[in-house]
Amino acid sequence: MPNAEMGLLLLMEKDPTYRAVIGCGKLYMTVFVDSPNEYPSVILRLGKAGTCANAQIQSMAQLINLSLSLGATFKQIKDSLKDIGCIVPTKDGKSCGDGVGKLLKRHINYLKEKK
């Protein structure tokens, strides 16, 4: 299900997985919810392994999961990552963090569409 506005794709419905192209390659985000009483868990990964950028993306996922477990919303996290620049920008001049924010926005829209 493409999202032309952001160039993002929803790849899977169960445990939604999203893909975006950022300056360092393809970025994937999967959101897991084991039960309605648990907070969601996010996994982030780049299409290439072993890079410093991949380590930063994994660190960002850990901080997102900690934030969610402490009661932060996807919107609050998305807003904090919005418009972060980088030396290896995407074609719109943004960073990996901004790419993660856009994937979170896509997930928020997906949740609204499901209702």
- Judged by DSSP in three states, 109 sits in helix
Q: Does residue 71 register a pLDDT over 80?
A: yes
What are the pLDDT digits (tens) for 19-64?
888 878 888 999 988 777 778 899 999 887 667 888 889 999 999 9
pLDDT band per the 50, 70, 90 thresholds, residue 1: very low
Mean pLDDT for the chain overall: 81
Listed by start position, the domains of the chain span 2-109
Confidence (pLDDT) at 2 = 41
Q: What is the DSSP string of 62-105?
A: HHHHHHHHTT--HHHHHHHHTT---SS--TTS--HHHHHHHHHH
Higher pLDDT, 73 or 2: 73
How large is the average pLDDT for residues 87-108? 80
pLDDT band per the 50, 70, 90 thresholds, residue 89: low
